[in-house]
Amino acid sequence: MTTSGTLGMFLLMLYSTTLPTSGLELLSEPAVSGGFVSTELNSTVSLTCVSEGTELEWLRNGHLIRVAEGNTQGTSRVCIWPVTHDDNAAIFTCQQKNDTSMNASVQLEVTYAPLNSVMEEVLVEETRELVMSCDVFANPPVSVLWEQHGAPIDLSESGFQMTNDGITSRLRLGKVARAKHQGLYSCVTTSPKYPTPNNKSFQVTVNDKTLQVQLDLIFPIIAGVVVIGLTTLLAVIARWKRITQCCKPAPNFDNSQ
C-alpha cells in the first residue's frame, strides 16, 4: 500500500465517516454517531467533505458558509471553534455546488453544565424580601434542589417560592425573619451527564430594619405643598393689589381755574 493510501485509511479510521452519499462523503472529528456529533462547550469540531472532481459548498442551518479560496474543490474543510451554546442543534451540510441533491449533513449536540460561582454574600433587612438566583442553563437539563443549612427546603411549608425557567432558578421569600432565615443556602444542580453536583452557595445575613423614607411618597407631598404655597402667595399678591388700588388718594381737581 502506498504512503498516500495508508494516510487515507488512517483518516477514515480517525474521523469515522457519516451518512455516506454516492459520490460524496462527510467526515467528522469527533466521530459521528447516528448523524450527530457530540461535543462540549469551547471545544473544536472539524468537518471534512470529499467529492472527487467537484466544487463543494457548506451550509449551516440552510445558510451558505463562506470558505477560503482553494477550499472548495474536491475536498473542503470547516472548523467550528470555539463551540458555543448557539451551535447546539446546528445542522452542517456539505453539498456539490452544481448538484445540491448530492449532499450529506451532521447535527451538533453540544453539552454544557451550569455556570455557578462558589459563594455569594447576601445582606437583607428584617421583614424585607429575600431573592436568590443560580444558573441552571445546561444541556442536558439539570435537576435543581435548594437547601438551607444542608437540608432540602420544604417549599410547601417554609414560605419560600421557587421558579425555574430553564435558564435561571430563583428562590424567593416575601418576609425575612432573622431567627429562621439567616444562614447558609445552596442551589444544587445535578445531571446524569455530570456526576459531580454543580452548587452555588449563599451566606445570608439578616440586619436590623432601618427607617427608610419612601421617596415615591415624599415627592408627591412636596409637589402638593409647593403648589398650595404658590397658589396662596399669588392669591395674597392679587389681594394686596386690590387693597392698594382702593386705598389710593382720589384725584384733586382744582375747579378754581
Do 104 and 148 share a domain, yes or no?
A: no
Report d(CA 142, CA 68) in Å as an integer: 40
Of 82, 111, 140, the residue that ends a domain is 111
SS3 at position 225: helix
The yes-or-no verdict on residue 7 having pLDDT over 50 is no
Same domain flag for 143 and 181: yes
* Domain that residue 129 falls in: 119-207
Q: Residues 136-175: pLDDT tens digits?
A: 999 999 999 999 999 999 999 999 999 999 999 999 999 9
Question: What does the DSSP assignment read for 6-64?
Answer: HHHHHHHHHH--EEEETTEEEEEESPEETTEEEEETT--EEEEEEEEEEEEEEEETTEE
Q: Is residue 222 part of a domain?
A: no
Give the pLDDT band (50/70/90) at residue 225: confident
Asked if the structure places residue 237 within a domain, the reply is: no
Claim to verify: residue 129 and residue 163 sit in the same structural domain: yes
| Closest by CA position to 124, among listed 167, 76, 177, 198 | 177
pLDDT at 20: 53
The least confident of 1-15, 139-153, 175-189, 206-220 is: 1-15
pLDDT at residue 95 is higher than 70 = yes
Chain mean pLDDT for the chain: 85
**What CATH number does residue 99 fall under?**
2.60.40.10
Predicted TM-score of the model (pTM)? 0.70
Same structural domain, 194 and 170 = yes
| pLDDT (tens digit per residue) in 71-86 | 999 999 999 999 999 9
Number of compact structural domains in the chain: 2
